[in-house]
Amino acid sequence: MSLLKKIITHKINFMIFIYVALVITLLSSLIGYFGKYHWFLDLFAHFKMQYFILTLCFLTILIVAFFLRKRKKKNSKALIIFTILTCFTLLINFLEIFPLYVAPPSSASDNSAKKIIKLMHFNINTANNNYNQIENYILANNPDIVLLEEVNSSCLLALKQLEKKYPFKITYPQEDNFGIAMFSKFKMTSANLLYYGSRKIPYIRAEYLINGKNISIFGVHTLPPIGANLSKERNEMLAYLAKKIDSSQSTIILGDLNISPFSYYFKKLLKDGNLTNSQCGFGLQTSWPAKLFLLRIPIDHCLISNDIQIIDRKIGSNIGSDHNSLIISLKF
């Protein structure tokens, strides 16, 4: 008899655990929508896929439990209520994820005379010294323009082969995780290393004339949202970039923006800058943290003006970094 009580108690405790976990997941899903009011709330916005997968698991358990109780003719009111809550949680997360799998309409005509260029972005991690592998990886993928972040002096000295293939460059090595470098096969009509804010966060603005079209590429690495001050500066930098976009040019913002597509501030950047997220039509494509697949979120981005057509987008290797690389093909 005592064994039977333990089994019943165990089952009850398990369902209570599921109910509590579901409520936490629902609250976490909702809290992210209030990110503009507090930096900590914004952190909850980034894990929409994780919430979605968790909720699918909960729904499966609840459906099985419902049919087991129905067969035994037990009261299933609590199960019905929590199943409804589960479906609601699934829906709000699905509505955030689904647009990333839908290709946006493009104003760029499908014209054979258009030029296709291949971009690569890679936050290599300052502590990562696998320089030979990184160099071989870049050369094997053969992008036209490469943006590297978290580069230091040792890294740039080791990547000598890149200079042969990419004669045009702008570099700013640092030891503080904010070194940045852009290598290009195409000549830049202007190349500027600029700084944002009191911390003088470096970013690159390079302009090109490709296939008769003026193109402005921003290479950006924002501050991580660790605490109120850094989050505020990241958000302000994103707003600043939106104001710097010249609507008369084709624009690309490339880099580690330390924000996911689900954040209020990311959506505001797209709206204010009249930009398109290159993820749309290619899915979630998570990039960080590279070695923790279940926790990975997309924070490495390529944002483009609406006159640019996205041909291909994929997440590449990490080669010792905490980020995966990002490779994009665009048509002008």
Cα–Cα dist 284/314, whole Å: 10
In this structure, the answer to whether residues 157 and 286 fall within a common structural domain is yes
In this structure, the answer to whether residues 120 and 86 fall within a common structural domain is no
Give percent of the chain above pLDDT 90: 75
Over range 27-33, report the average pLDDT: 96
Count how many domains the chain has.
2
The residue out of 67, 101, 135 marking a domain boundary is 101
pLDDT over threshold 90, residue 63 = no
Over range 47-61, report the average pLDDT: 95
Residue 11 — very low, low, confident or very high, per pLDDT cuts 50/70/90? low
With respect to residue 106, please indicate whether it lies within any of the assigned structural domains. no
Give the model's pLDDT for residue 16.
86
Q: How far from the centroid of its chain's Cα atoms is residue 15's Cα?
A: 35
Q: Residues 6 or more apart from 172 whose CB is under 8 A from it?
A: 179, 180, 181, 193, 202, 204
In this structure, the answer to whether residues 241 and 288 fall within a common structural domain is yes
In this structure, the answer to whether residues 146 and 255 fall within a common structural domain is yes
Which residue segment(s) compose the domain that 63 sits in? 2-101
Give the model's pLDDT for residue 110.
55
Cα–Cα dist 278/329, whole Å: 10
Q: Residues 6 or more apart from 132 whose CB is under 8 A from it?
A: 158
Q: How many CA atoms lie within 13 A of 26 on its CB side?
A: 17
In this structure, the answer to whether residues 47 and 182 fall within a common structural domain is no
In this structure, the answer to whether residues 211 and 326 fall within a common structural domain is yes
In this structure, the answer to whether residues 304 and 192 fall within a common structural domain is yes
Q: Residues 6 or more apart from 61 whose CB is under 8 A from it?
A: 18
Q: Summarize pLDDT for 168-210 with one digit per residue, the tens.
A: 999 999 998 999 999 999 999 999 999 998 899 999 999 999 8
Task: Please report the DSSP string for 108-177 in residue order.
Answer: S---TTSPEEEEEEEE--TT---HHHHHHHHHHH--SEEEEES--HHHHHH-HHHHHH--EEEEE--SSS
Residue 221 — very low, low, confident or very high, per pLDDT cuts 50/70/90? very high
In this structure, the answer to whether residues 90 and 122 fall within a common structural domain is no
In this structure, the answer to whether residues 73 and 143 fall within a common structural domain is no
Cα–Cα dist 141/134, whole Å: 11
With respect to residue 182, please indicate whether it lies within any of the assigned structural domains. yes
Q: Summarize pLDDT for 227-260 with one digit per residue, the tens.
A: 999 999 999 999 999 999 988 899 999 999 999 9
Over range 132-140, report the average pLDDT: 95
Lowest mean pLDDT among 77-81, 111-115, 316-320: 111-115
Give the model's pLDDT for residue 4.
39
Q: Residues 6 or more apart from 282 whose CB is under 8 A from it?
A: 100, 101, 310, 313, 314
Residue 317 — very low, low, confident or very high, per pLDDT cuts 50/70/90? confident
Cα–Cα dist 293/94, whole Å: 20
The residue out of 75, 101, 127 marking a domain boundary is 101
Q: Which of 239, 201, 247 is nearest to 220 (CA)?
A: 201
The residue out of 53, 74, 101 marking a domain boundary is 101
Residue 158 — very low, low, confident or very high, per pLDDT cuts 50/70/90? very high
pLDDT over threshold 80, residue 2 = no
Confirm if 233 and 199 have CB atoms less than 8 A apart: yes
Mean pLDDT in the chain?
A: 90
In this structure, the answer to whether residues 150 and 239 fall within a common structural domain is yes
Q: Which of 84, 170, 120 is nearest to 327 (CA)?
A: 120
With respect to residue 111, please indicate whether it lies within any of the assigned structural domains. no
- DSSP H/E element including 2: helix 2-31
Cα–Cα dist 59/48, whole Å: 16
Cα–Cα dist 103/277, whole Å: 10
pLDDT over threshold 80, residue 108 = no
Lowest mean pLDDT among 91-95, 155-159, 209-213, 279-283: 209-213
In this structure, the answer to whether residues 72 and 202 fall within a common structural domain is no
Give percent of the chain above pLDDT 70: 92
Residue 12 — very low, low, confident or very high, per pLDDT cuts 50/70/90? low
Residue 132 — very low, low, confident or very high, per pLDDT cuts 50/70/90? very high
* Alpha-carbon distances of 297 from 46, 167, 270, 323, rounded to whole Å: 7, 34, 18, 10
